[in-house]
Amino acid sequence: MMFETGRVQKIEQGKAFVAMTPNAACAHCHAGSICHAEGDAIIIEAADPLGVKVNQAVEVAISEDNMLKASFVVYGIPLIALMCGMFAGQYLGKRAGVENIYEIVGGFGCFGLSFLFVRFYNHLFQQHLNNQPVITKILP
């Protein structure tokens, strides 16, 4: 688990939007669906089991395993799809006698389809409560 501190900006339907200052790890983070930049701060949507109030300082726990899974899906799946599409296109191209165009079309076709999978997975990923950041402590 990775723990960060921030200040609650707003609360909506059991979720708190927490503003945090980016740290060195944010520069290398690939979990784009968890937070978004807003000026000099990043805003994280976190589950609020403690019932925090606006402007309170809180500690947020973010699962590193889930961030790793999300990074693989966002970067690994499209790369694998691109290579599989190229190999399938090469095979079909050899049979048809026109290799290069089949490789290009197959590679980019599978690459494009992989983004539909990534979008679908992102929707499922965000719905699971155990994948979301959680407020663990109210700080003084």
> What DSSP line would sit under 88-119, residue for residue?
HHHHHHHHHT-HHHHHHHHHHHHHHHHHHHHH
Give the largest Cα separation in the chain, rounded: 71
Higher pLDDT, 97 or 126: 97
> What are the pLDDT digits (tens) for 46-66?
888 888 888 889 988 887 787
Task: Answer yes or no: is pLDDT of 30 > 60.
Answer: no
Neighbours of 84 (CB within 10 A): 15
